[in-house]
Structure 1
Amino acid sequence: MTDYDYEEMAAQLDRYADVPDDVLNELVTSEGLCFWAFDRTGMPELSGGDSPDRELAAHLCAGCPVIDQCRELELRTAGPATIGVWGALPDTDRRALYRVWACRRGGEAR
């Protein structure tokens, strides 16, 4: 299992702090592979366990050009209530990232 550096991930997302939600949404929905080019053949099964489905998340988002923008958008819109796979991370990892991300943004939680 890979441990993520949430501080580094959150720092990478700082470049999107001033991008409006509607611009991020348009970019993610038009360029995100899962919205138009997703091939579900060979998709790993959900583990159903307590551990994050990191393998599934990596598979679903492999090659997507807007992974960081997708993460930013999901952190803004779902925050700690996030579920599923967004930005190549399972929900458990995004919830951990959200805490760091919100602190970097001055405690902002939407």
Structure 2
Amino acid sequence: MTGYDFEEMAAQLDRYADVPGDVLSEVVARDGLCFWAFDRADMPELSGVDSPDRELAARMCAGCPVIDQCRELDLRTSGPDTVGVWGALPDTDRRALYPVWARRRGGEAR
């Protein structure tokens, strides 16, 4: 059990439904902590174990001003094939969020 309310999380992302993908991408690349606060070569590896990966995601994204935009961008571009940390969630949690998010957007999960 993740402890996340994926329905609430998806509802929070609804405000980005009409934002063009290129705008989201620009905002995340410009303002995302992981793009300027970390040396990409020194990024920690995901363990593949849920709890440590959640802790890693929370630590890596703590204080990031574009967590929701980042999460929205990854759900749009990677969907169920997501990997790594985006929007303060490890890939396992984003895969669980994806079908809820897709349903709210009037689509089927791919």
Aligned residues: 107
2:102 counterpart residue number: 102
Which letter maps to 1:85? V
Identity between Structure 1 and Structure 2 (%): 82
1:68 counterpart residue number: 68
- TM-score of the superposed pair, with normalisation by structure 2: 0.87
2:3 counterpart residue number: 3
Listed as ranges, the gaps of 5+ residues in structure 1 are none
**Contact kept in structure 2, 1:54 and 1:90, CA below 8 Å:** yes
Counterparts of 1:16 and 1:84 in 2: how far apart (Å)?
22
Listed as ranges, the gaps of 5+ residues in structure 2 are none
- TM-score of the superposed pair, with normalisation by structure 1: 0.87
Which letter maps to 2:95? R
More helix by percentage: 2
Which letter maps to 1:26? E
CA RMSD of aligned residues (A): 2.1
With over 3 angstroms needed to count, the CA separation of the structure-2 counterparts of 1:58 and 1:16, relative to structure 1, is: same
Using the TM superposition, give the Cα deviation of residue 75 of structure 1 relative to its aligned residue in structure 2, in angstroms. 0.1
With over 3 angstroms needed to count, the CA separation of the structure-2 counterparts of 1:46 and 1:78, relative to structure 1, is: closer
Which letter maps to 1:105? R
